[in-house]
Amino acid sequence: MNKIYNKLMGMYGHQGWWPVTPCYTSDKLKPMYGIKTRIEKQKLEIIIGAILTQSTAWKNVEKAITELNKRNLIDVNKILKISDNELAQIIRSSGYYNQKAKKLKNIAEFLKKYPIKKLENIDINEARKLLLSVKGIGKETADSILLYALNKPIFVVDAYTRRIFSNLGLISPNANYDEIQALFMNNLPNDSKLFNEYHALIVEHAKRYYRKKEDYKKCPLYVGYFEGKKA
């Protein structure tokens, strides 16, 4: 696991996830990257983005987030105030917009009860359980929120992770979420910074080699892996 991480890092370098809209506060431009300097609104934007990107290309999500920002809707109370239908139209570009509008309402309601500041200070397992209780938030979205918005050390598993590592023969093609997550977390140091970069690198790598099945065999990791085995 560590070897592959180092190889990906060598190929693509620091990814600096999660991509967040820069934000002006007291005439100072907050940096786009660097989780420690993020302000509350940017953390909320990450949570919203994590929901909007479910089975959706990030490019379409960016447009929706831009529309939300234009209307100052990266705000729990405002999300609760706007009608489902209006919200759905604003996030239209992200697809599944009716479902996602409801999901945003659900998370906003949840955040009234458990504000981001509170979530940051509770135990990671407890926070995960709470997030999973929200309708529309499954394991991957919950873990993305924990890692990228709350800076908690947890490994995010997605379809790309399964594709790459089953192609390499390191997991079974139908391994479930928990198995895959355990494989990474049991073989890597418990470091949110590492988990952050690793997942981002997996996505970057998969976009290049794992969109079409016929490209899987061109994956440099695959080639390297089997060459290394031979040698």
Q: Which is nearer to DNA, 3 or 217 (CB)?
A: 217
Q: Which residues contact 103 (CB under 8 A, 6 or more apart)?
A: 51, 135, 136, 137
**String of DSSP letters for 121-138:** TS-HHHHHHHHHTSTT--
Token pair listed for 184: 């990474």
Residues 67-86 that bind DNA (CB under 7 A): none
DSSP annotation of 26 reads: T
With CB under 7 A as the contact rule, which of the stretches 6-14, 119-127, 141-149, 219-227 interacts with DNA? 141-149
Query: Of these, 159, 182, 208, 220, which contacts DNA (CB under 7 A)?
Result: 159
Angle at 130 between CA 106 and CA 193, to 5 degrees: 105
Q: Which is nearer to DNA, 121 or 160 (CB)?
A: 160
d(CA 211, CA 141): 21
- Per-residue binding string, DNA, 94-133, x by CB under 7 A, is -xxxxxx---------------------------------
With CB under 7 A as the contact rule, which of the stretches 55-63, 78-86, 109-117, 121-129 interacts with DNA? 55-63
The burial of 147, by beta-carbon neighbours within 10 Å (0-12 exposed, 13-18 middle, 19 or more buried), is given as: buried
Residues 165-204 that bind DNA (CB under 7 A): 174, 176, 203
Site for DNA, rule CB under 7 A: 17-19, 49-50, 53-60, 63, 92-93, 95-100, 134-142, 144, 148, 158-160, 174, 176, 203, 206-207, 210-211
